[in-house]
Amino acid sequence: MLRMITAVHPLLLLLLATTLEVSGDALVRTAMFRHVGLARLALWLLGGVLLLGYGTFLNLAPVEFGRVVGLYIATLFAVWQLISFVAFRAVPTLPVVFGGALVIAGGCIITFWRAA
């Protein structure tokens, strides 16, 4: 099974990892501020499971850790904005869009620039 997972394109593993991370964080935030009792506990536990999945899939990407970080950060920003909009109806401001463009550009430079 591990061999099948590592055969998946690294970008898909990163996309899955970032989706799990941001979704897990959104569940923990929702549990903390919108729920009480058993609902809070259940959301915390589910958020924790998603965060564990994030760590697992990020480390399954067959890319050197120093290089994967750049692409991961770029992917994380994009997924974070999407989940933030879907879960919390937060529309990114102009500074977030501009800064995010720099984050994505920087992530691509870190990942794809081959030093001579």
d(CA 49, CA 57): 12
Query: At 6, is the pLDDT very low, low, confident or very high (cuts 50, 70, 90)?
Result: low
Is the model more confident about 47 or about 69?
A: 47
CA atoms within 13 A on the CB side of 34: 11
What digits encode the pLDDT tens for the residues 56-106? 988 887 777 777 788 889 999 999 999 999 999 999 999 999 999 999 999
d(CA 91, CA 100): 13
Looking at residue 82, what is its pLDDT? 94
Looking at residue 63, what is its pLDDT? 75
Query: At 1, is the pLDDT very low, low, confident or very high (cuts 50, 70, 90)?
Result: low
DSSP string, 20-60: HHHHHHHHHHHHHHH--HHHHHHHHHHHHHHHHHHHHHHHH
Q: Locate tokens 């750049």: which residue?
A: 70
Looking at residue 93, what is its pLDDT? 97
Query: At 9, is the pLDDT very low, low, confident or very high (cuts 50, 70, 90)?
Result: confident
Query: At 116, is the pLDDT very low, low, confident or very high (cuts 50, 70, 90)?
Result: low
**For the chain, domain boundaries:** 2-112
